[in-house]
Structure 1
Amino acid sequence: MVEPAFFIRKRKTSNAQRRKNLKALTPLKHYHYNEVKRFTNSFACVVGKGGFGTVYKGNLPDGRKVAVKVLKDSKRNGEDFINEVASMSQTSHVNIVSLIGFCYEGSKRMIVYEFLENGSLDQFISTNAASSIAEWRRTLYEILLGVARGLEYLHYGCKTRIVHFDIKPQNVLLDCNLCPKVSDFGLAKLCEKKESIMSLLDTRGTIGYIAPEMISRVYGGVSHKSDVERQENYEKITCYSR
């Protein structure tokens, strides 16, 4: 009888913490599920899929185009949802995707953010594979520079430092002018700027883009610099794909 009681207490604590975190986000637009269903035309247009959920295109009543990420139902969803909304709600930068609002009704968890016409960087690379190498290098340089500026803002420009932990081409979106914006903060972690080495209970990221210190502490401790390692890794992989 002791073991069930333990799990009940643990679940109550977890839910209470989530409610506390969401309460801090009340200035953001909180959409009801029926509202989201209406402005996405019953989730008719899929614009992307990822490990955490599916992204749909929508149109707000005021005419703005938006992207709606519907998170999958998994054990980590509560944490993923809190991480992404909490992180994005604290940002305002040209190279960071802008959060518009969210929906949290029962098991339904959705994030509403600005719609970017050119999709993700990996899609753009595939679509423009036939472009001249010289032209592509100039464009790629500007994109990578924008991503670096976005990371610098997350690490040094926010009141609370944000470590992304999943920098890769799929999580870099491009607007109509090919301005890059870092997106998908499901694995992000908030920490104080004075923190140097971070304590993590799990390995975060995508194989092929993970910083070496995330795999083995022989390479040093995990810190905000791990995002820079990921940036360098995906720059190399992106360039080699040409």
Structure 2
Amino acid sequence: HVSNISRQLLAPNKMLHIALGITRGMEYMHQGCNQRILHFDIKPHNILLDYNFNPKISDFGLAKLCARDQSIVTLTAARGTMGYIAPELYSRNFGGVSYKSDVYSFGMLVLEMVSGRRNSDPSVEIQDEVYLPEWIYEKVISWREWELTLEMTAEDKDKIRQLSIVGLWCIQWNPKNRPSMTKVVNMLTGRLQNLHIPPKPFVSSDNRPMPQNTTNT
């Protein structure tokens, strides 16, 4: 039996367990196979959970194989799901497409998981819509708590903060500043005190890339 991660209300220890499982799966795809597998559609709906909350990465319909030593891949068009697509898939001005593009999608998934909110499309024009990474970043740097964590223990709040910092590192706009999944494992299993607050992983709303009719292609 499996269920979809996006349908779950999860305790912080379950979130950390799931995030680590996804991380190790992606690490194997990126580093452990004879050919590197780039998934290009990491999102909550493609993460399935068994009875023990062990995650399984599913739907490899958009995946691409490349050599393990190939740092940049060529795509004819952006692929993925809106809200999880790395900026370099819209514009090469942000860098080359690589396994770090999957890292970005993973970061967005983690931020959604810890916040209980859906990621707003950066191109929305509704002024009262707050871009999710920006919302979480302000909470993290100010140590402010949000509604999800008000009734949690100090240990649980630390887990949420740890996941949030890792997620924010993973969605850095410059792919070179995103950690590999091997590094993410170390960040999630290490001490919160050893994690540094990342730079703002977004730019002002006037300078965000504007998607042009991107679909699951």
Calculate the TM-score normalised by the size of structure 2: 0.52
| CA RMSD across the alignment | 1.2
Bigger radius of gyration among the two: 1
CA distance in 2, matches of 1:238, 1:198: 29
Q: Give, in angstroms, the shift of residue 238 of structure 1.
A: 2.0
Question: 1:152 matched to which residue of 2?
Answer: 27
> 1:53-73 CA distances to partner (integer Å, 9 max, x unpaired)?
xxxxxxxxxxxxxxxxxxxxx
Q: Which has the higher helix share?
A: 2
Match of 1:170 among 35, 45, 58: 45
4+ runs deviating over 3 angstroms? none
Instruction: State the distance in 1 between where 2:38 and 2:108 align.
Output: 16
- Corresponding residue of 2:5: 121
Query: Does structure 1 residue 199 correspond to structure 2 residue 80?
Result: no
Aligned length: 117
**1:185-224, CA deviations, whole angstroms, 9 ceiling, x for partnerless residues?**
0000001111111100011100011111111112110001
Q: Kindly state the Cα deviation for residue 176 of structure 1 after the two structures are TM-superposed.
A: 1.5
Match of 1:212 in 2: 87
State the match for 1:69 in structure 2.
none
Unaligned runs of 5+ in 1: 1-116
Distance 1:205 1:229 in 2: 12
Equivalent residue runs for 1:75-154 within 5 Å: 117-123=1-7, 125=8, 128=9, 136-154=11-29
Equivalence for 1:223: 98
Question: What CA deviation, in whole Å up to 9, does each residue of 1:114-172 have, x standing for no partner?
Answer: xxx2311012x2xx3xx6xxxx1110011011000000000111111100000011000
The separation in 2 between residues aligned to 1:230 and 1:140, in whole angstroms, is: 16
State the one-letter code of the partner of 1:226: S
SS of 1:170 mapped into structure 2: helix
What secondary structure sits across from 1:232 in the alignment? helix
- For residue 122 of structure 1, what is the amino acid of its counterpart? S
Aligned to 1:240: 115
Residue 234 of structure 1: how far off its partner (Å): 1.3
What amino acid is the match of 1:225?
K
Percent identical across equivalent pairs? 48
Name the SS of the counterpart of 2:56 in structure 1: strand
- Aligned mates of 1:181, 1:174 — CA distance in 2: 6
Aligned-partner Cα distance in 2 for 1:155–1:118: 24
Unpaired runs of at least 5, structure 2: 117-147, 149-217
SS in 2 for 1:122: helix
Alignment correspondent of 1:187:
62
CA distance in 2, matches of 1:215, 1:238: 24
* Higher relative contact order, structure no. (Cα contacts within 8 Å, ≥ 6 residues apart): 2
Aligned residue for 2:3, secondary structure, equals: coil
TM-score (ref. length: structure 1): 0.47
Match of 1:34 in 2: none
Alpha-carbon separation, structure 2, partners of 1:180 and 1:224: 20
Say which structure is richer in strand: 1
Name the CA distance, whole Å, in 2 between partners of 1:208 and 1:155.
Answer: 22
